[in-house]
Amino acid sequence: MKFYSCGPLKGEVTVPGDKSVSHRGVMFGSIAKGTTEIHNFLQGADCLSTIACFRQMGIEIENHNDTVLVHGNGLRGLKKPDGTLDCGNSGTTARLICGILSGQDFSCTLTGDASIQKRPMKRIITPLSQMGAKLRSLRDNGCVPLEITGTKLHSVSYASPVASAQVKSAVLLAGLYGDGITQVTEPYVSRNHTELMLRCFGADVRTEGTKAVIHPAEELYGQNILVPGDISSAAFFIAAGLIVPGSEILIRNVGINPTRNGILKVCKSMGADLVLLNENQDAGEPTADILVKSSSLHGIEIGGAVIPTLIDELPVIAAMACFAEGETVIRDAAELKVKESNRIEVMVRNLSAMGADVTETEDGMIIRGGKPLHGAVLESKSDHRIAMTFAVAACLADGETEILGAECVNISYPGFYKDLERLKKQAFTN
Ligand code: S3P
């Protein structure tokens, strides 16, 4: 797909529902009693993989686009699937489902696409095995395909070496089937959607700083869920609005959960003209409209506790830093290497191809802003966030930018290019 530099972006956009919250709605609804109604569900390929997996385990799920109805069968009501469960490209599906499958009374196998087959699953195999679960990497490489044999689980206190909501959530979900109190501590707080939503479903779960604690459950109960707009999708319009001169974009109804909103803090520190309007709250998930206006940005250091709160936004933050004055240092972000692609390597390669001054480091990158970017032919590596990042960078790059494999945005934001184009056109007609 080809992209060209553009004038100011203007207008309003409503980004699709949050991916993390949509996944969890289907998963928790499936193991709850009664019907769970999910509104503003993200119809991206990742969340559809979660629906397909639970349907295969006998859960009736009605997908009416905006609204999804999950007719749960209770905590012990899943059925042994006929074939292999396929997580597609979705790490959240793969890791969280293992927590649930560990506590069932059947065995099954789990696989995914080429990218998922390379992503580390040992990080959940280790704690789940400590709980007594039986998970076997069939190629003995710590990745899917995995064979999971459900069994009786023991509760543990697990100190996770990584700040990962997927690891934390897998252990907490297994903890629902445990024989006592299960605890997970992580180096920094990761996104807390599991804790917030499980509480609504009736689980006894609480958090103390970086520790999450859960008790075994008798039953969970179906809920009504209103999914906020995904801040990880909004991030592309935040960045575009800030860097393209003369832009003004209002992004409606975005989830601004403090464990996810690091991008807002970073943009503010870089000098962004960004305001929150119509702040609201539903089931513990805060939302707001975000108004961004093009701004003169300056480089900053990004590292430590803020990293898990903006981990998926780092590619577009790196692109934004190319248009900021001075140096931006991203550190403590080695997790980027094990996402849908090695996002440090891919970002550095693609930004360099566009003429940016960027250096790869062990756990991040250093970007010296101010060098003009030019178009190039770029590999998305089938990574949705990389494709969207470079569609944004192309707005300010001289000449033609071609993104290979651009259709991978279907994973989290099927209508992304249309929305971006509309904001470009709206500016033209204003
Ligand atoms: C997610 C957690 C994060 C994030 C991913 C979604 C989740 O992964 O990058 O896109 O829904 O729990 P990690 O837990 O590996 O950090």
Question: Both 310 and 211 in a single domain?
Answer: no
Residue 90, ligand 1, Cβ within 6 A: no
CA-based nearest residue to 26, from 62, 2, 76: 62
Q: Which amino acid appears at position 218 of this protein?
A: E
Q: Which of 173, 191, 344 to mutate to test the pocket of ligand 1 (most atoms within 8 A of CB)?
A: 191
Task: Provide the token pair at 286.
Answer: 């805060």
Q: Are residues 184 and 307 in the same domain?
A: no
Check whether residue 121 and residue 67 sit in a common domain.
yes
Question: Looking at the 3D structure of the chain, how many domains does it have?
Answer: 2
Q: What is the pLDDT of residue 67?
A: 96
Close Cβ partners of 200 (under 8 Å, ≥ 6 residues apart): 223, 225, 283, 284
Please give the average per-residue pLDDT across 239-245, as a whole number: 98
Same domain? For 398 and 263 the reply is yes
Residue 223 has pLDDT above 60, yes or no: yes
**pLDDT for position 386:** 98
Measured from the Cβ of residue 263, the count of other Cβ atoms closer than 10 Å reads: 28
Q: How far apart are CA 414 and CA 226, in angstroms?
A: 20
- How much is the mean pLDDT over the chain? 97
pLDDT of the residue at 296: 98
CATH number for the domain spanning 144: value is 3.65.10.10
Look at residue 427 in the predicted model and tell me its pLDDT.
Answer: 61
| CA-based max dimension of the chain | 63
User: Could you report the per-residue pLDDT of 391-412, keeping only the tens digit for each?
Assistant: 999 999 999 999 999 999 999 9
Residues 247, 116 share a domain: no
210 and 242 together in one domain: no
The rounded Å distance from CA 99 to ligand 1 centre is 15
Collapse the DSSP code of 171 into the 3-class scheme (helix H, G, I; strand E, B; otherwise coil) and give the result. Answer: helix
| Contact criterion met (CB below 8 Å) for 103 and 150 | yes
pLDDT of residue 204: 98
pLDDT at residue 426, as a whole number: 75
Nearest atom in ligand 1 to 232's CA: 10
Indicate whether 85 and 190 sit together in one domain. Answer: yes
* Cα atoms in the Cβ-side hemisphere of radius 13 Å centred on 382: 9
What confidence tens digit (pLDDT) does each residue in 172-215 have?
999 999 999 999 999 999 999 999 999 999 999 999 999 999 99
pLDDT of 429 above 60: no
Pair (166, 275) in one structural domain: no
Sheet containing 182-185: order of strands: 157-159, 182-185, 211-214, 205-208
Looking at the structure, tell me whether residues 268 and 179 fall in a common domain.
no
- Asked which of 226, 254, 282 is the last residue of a domain, the reply is 226
Same domain, 171 and 209: yes
Same-domain check for residues 61 and 109: yes
On whether the CB atoms of residues 273 and 293 are closer than 8 A, the answer is: yes
Quote the pLDDT of residue 404. Answer: 98
Residue 69 lies in domain: 19-226
Residue 388 scores a pLDDT above 70:
yes
Q: Is the pLDDT of residue 428 over 60?
A: no
Name the residue of 19, 20, 169 to mutate for ligand 1: max ligand atoms within 8 A of Cβ. Answer: 20
- Residue-level length of the chain: 430
Question: What is the model's pLDDT at position 28?
Answer: 98
Same domain, 47 and 166: yes
Whether 192 lines ligand 1, by a CB cut-off of 6 Å, is: no
| pLDDT tens string 72-121 | 999 999 999 999 999 999 999 999 999 999 999 999 999 999 999 999 99
* Ligand 1 center–CA 373 separation, angstroms: 30
332 is catalytic: no
Q: Check whether 430 has a pLDDT greater than 60.
A: no
- The Cα 24–Cα 197 span in angstroms is 8
The tokens describing 285, both together, are: 């998930």
Q: What is the mean pLDDT of residues 376-394?
A: 98
Q: How high is the pLDDT of residue 78?
A: 98
Q: Is the CB of 195 under 6 A from ligand 1?
A: no
Spatial separation of the C-alpha atoms in residues 223 and 64, rounded to whole Å: 17
Distance CA 209, CA 228 (A): 24
Give the end of a domain, one of 181, 202, 226: 226
Q: Which of 86, 289, 312, 419 is catalytic?
A: 312
- Residue ending a domain, among 158, 193, 226, is 226
What is the model's pLDDT at position 66? 87
Neighbours of 266 (CB within 10 A): 22
